[in-house]
């Protein structure tokens, strides 16, 4: 049944009271006034307007063009605001806007961006393709969550077109590199974690500190130009092959909404150093069911519960050297791939390195949901993007 009023939430809607993700939106009558919204079914609750109408002390955190002020306010405030929002859901209908009548914006100002490599299935598959003949997993892989620093300034909100990147490519058999549009443009289905509470330098975040620092979770597509990447990445890792654009969903799901989806990570095959040892910590895995479609056709259903390294371990690792955390720091899980052939999170793996990769005009959409309390579902929204031709206008066939 379509939702004619915010009060008619359809049974089983994944954007019910158990989810309540945050975003930043504008309405056509006030395009210059981005503010905090909360998704409820097919509607966006204007949290700033509802807070003002209810005399909430948190109104100033919500009448903002990004989530950063709310994110910086810390976990007790996140809990208080979420509890208040639940009481506003049956308030004035004037505070709700149909989702298809609003514009959604990049929900937070990104500070630093790190991308990890936490799926054993993905890392092994990619290792076999990129480094045939070598051990697929490097000797450090089971001892630390491998990551690299990405480009914060090119993170874009879902719905933004992605211009096919250009750069140097050189296949092993080529005599010299050539310059041009990437011919092996790929996706990476990932889950992102948004830091709210900062941490000063030289105070590493423990596994238990994860909940106090991470505000919420979103979906990520780490677009990857495999030809550029394969030629440039030795020895310092990914650079221009990934820095042209990274798409994130418009909705940030509060960590608390995923409590019922917590699950034990895969069994650890190697003893971990104390700061990463999660054998006695609360279950660090999260049961998120991702689905990847290209031009409307499902190509994969990657299970996030299969990730070897957890988001809590990644945060502990990121800060163990004394590095500080800022509000808006953002880290992505790494490509989510499961053990089955229909659970792989990128075309490199789905096509065993042979392609085809993305063609101009292709639309890639990643969605996900998690089990919520009492048999409900918690939707994570979607991250979508369309490939548009390289800036030099050269046509690129499906390749």
Ligand X SMILES: O=C(O)/C=C/C(=O)CC(=O)CC(=O)O
Active centre residues (catalytic): 122
Q: Which residue is nearest to Mg ion (CB)?
A: 246
Place of tokens 């810390």: 74
Binding at 233: pick from ligand X, Ca ion, Mg ion, none (beta carbon under 5-8 Å per type) = ligand X
Beta-bridge partner residues of 371: 377
Strands 162-163 and 377-388 come out as parallel
Place of tokens 């005009």: 361
Query: Is the separation of the CB atoms in 174 and 140 below 8 Å?
Result: no
Binding at 246: pick from ligand X, Mg ion, Ca ion, none (beta carbon under 5-8 Å per type) = Mg ion
Closer residue to ligand X in complex, CB, 68/335: 335
Q: Which part of the chain contacts Mg ion (CB under 5 A), choosing from 58-66, 197-205, 216-224, 277-285? A: 216-224
Binding mask 125-144 for Mg ion (x = CB under 5 A): --------------------
Closer residue to ligand X in complex, CB, 215/308: 308
Closer residue to Mg ion in complex, CB, 106/199: 106
Query: Least Å distance between CB 315 and ligand X?
Result: 17
Is omega for the bond preceding 235 within 30 degrees of 0, making it cis? Answer: yes
Q: Is 317 in a helix, a strand, or coil?
A: helix
Query: Least Å distance between CB 119 and ligand X?
Result: 6
Closer residue to Ca ion in complex, CB, 222/360: 222
Query: Least Å distance between CB 274 and ligand X?
Result: 25
Return d(Cα 271, Cα 152) in angstroms, integer: 33
* Of residues 176-195, those binding Mg ion (CB under 5 A): none
Query: Is the separation of the CB atoms in 142 and 163 below 8 Å?
Result: no
Binding at 238: pick from ligand X, Ca ion, Mg ion, none (beta carbon under 5-8 Å per type) = ligand X
- Our finding on whether 222 is near Mg ion (CB under 5 A) is yes
Return d(Cα 238, Cα 41) in angstroms, integer: 38
Closer residue to ligand X in complex, CB, 103/351: 351
What separation in angstroms does the CA of 241 have from each of 61, 74, 117, 231, 331?
37, 35, 16, 9, 18
* Of residues 48-77, those binding Mg ion (CB under 5 A): none
> Cβ contacts of residue 267 below 8 Å, gap of 6+?
none
144 sits in the region (left: phi over 0; alpha: psi -120 to 50; else beta) called beta
Query: Least Å distance between CB 19 and Ca ion?
Result: 25
Strands 289-294 and 297-300 come out as antiparallel
Closer residue to Mg ion in complex, CB, 120/186: 186
Return d(Cα 26, Cα 36) in angstroms, integer: 9
Query: Least Å distance between CB 39 and ligand X?
Result: 27
What is the Cα gyration radius of the chain? Answer: 21
Return d(Cα 380, Cα 286) in angstroms, integer: 13
Q: Which residue is nearest to ligand X (CB)?
A: 334
Q: Which residues bind Ca ion (CB under 5 A)?
A: 115, 188, 222
Residue 87 CB neighbour total at 10 angstroms: 11
Query: Least Å distance between CB 253 and ligand X?
Result: 20
Strands 22-27 and 103-105 come out as antiparallel
> Cβ contacts of residue 393 below 8 Å, gap of 6+?
none
Binding mask 229-248 for Mg ion (x = CB under 5 A): -------------x---x--
Query: Least Å distance between CB 59 and ligand X?
Result: 39
- Our finding on whether 226 is near Mg ion (CB under 5 A) is no
Closer residue to Ca ion in complex, CB, 189/199: 189
Q: Which residues bind ligand X (CB under 6 A)?
A: 115, 117, 122, 126-127, 130, 188, 222, 233, 238, 334-335
- Distance spanning both ends of the chain, measured CA to CA: 41
- The residue ranges that bind Mg ion (CB under 5 A) are 222, 242, 246
């Amino acid at each position: 049944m379509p939702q004619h009023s915010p009060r008619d939430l359809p049974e089983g809607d994944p954007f019910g009271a158990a989810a309540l993700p945050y975003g930043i939106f504008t309405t056509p009558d006030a395009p210059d006034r981005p503010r905090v919204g909360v998704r409820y079914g097919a509607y966006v609750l204007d949290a700033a307007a509802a807070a003002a109408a209810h005399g909430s002390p948190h109104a100033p955190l919500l009448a903002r063009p990004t989530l950063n002020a709310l994110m910086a306010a810390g976990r007790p405030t996140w809990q208080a605001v979420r509890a208040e929002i639940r009481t506003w859901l049956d308030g004035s209908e004037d505070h709700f806007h149909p989702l298809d009548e609003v514009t959604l914006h990049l929900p937070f100002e990104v500070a630093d961006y790190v991308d990890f490599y936490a799926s054993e299935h993905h890392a092994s598959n990619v290792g076999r393709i990129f480094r045939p003949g070598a051990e697929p997993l490097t000797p450090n892989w089971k001892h630390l969550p491998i990551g690299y620093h990405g480009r914060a300034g090119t993170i874009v909100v879902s719905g933004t077109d992605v211009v096919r990147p250009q750069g140097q490519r050189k296949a092993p058999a080529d005599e010299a590199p050539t310059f041009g549009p990437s011919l092996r443009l790929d996706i990476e289905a990932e889950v992102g974690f948004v830091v709210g509470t900062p941490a000063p330098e030289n105070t590493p975040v423990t596994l238990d500190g994860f909940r106090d620092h991470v505000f919420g979770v979103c979906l990520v597509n780490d677009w990857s130009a495999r030809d550029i990447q394969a030629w440039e990445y030795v020895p310092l890792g990914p650079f221009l092959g990934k820095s042209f654009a990274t798409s994130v969903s418009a909705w940030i799901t509060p960590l608390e909404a995923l409590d019922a989806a917590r699950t034990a990570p895969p069994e650890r095959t190697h003893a971990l150093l104390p700061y990463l040892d999660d054998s006695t910590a609360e279950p660090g895995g999260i049961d998120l069911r991702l689905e990847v479609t290209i031009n409307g056709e499902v190509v994969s259903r990657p299970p996030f519960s299969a990730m070897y390294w957890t988001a809590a371990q990644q945060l502990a690792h990121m800060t163990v050297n004394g590095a500080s955390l800022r509000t808006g720091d953002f880290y992505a899980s790494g490509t989510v791939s499961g053990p089955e052939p229909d659970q792989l999170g990128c075309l490199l793996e789905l096509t065993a390195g042979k392609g085809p990769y993305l063609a101009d005009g292709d639309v890639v959409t990643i969605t996900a949901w998690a089990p919520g309390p009492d048999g409900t579902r918690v939707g994570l929204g979607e991250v979508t993007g369309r490939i548009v031709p390289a800036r030099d206008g050269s046509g690129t066939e499906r390749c």
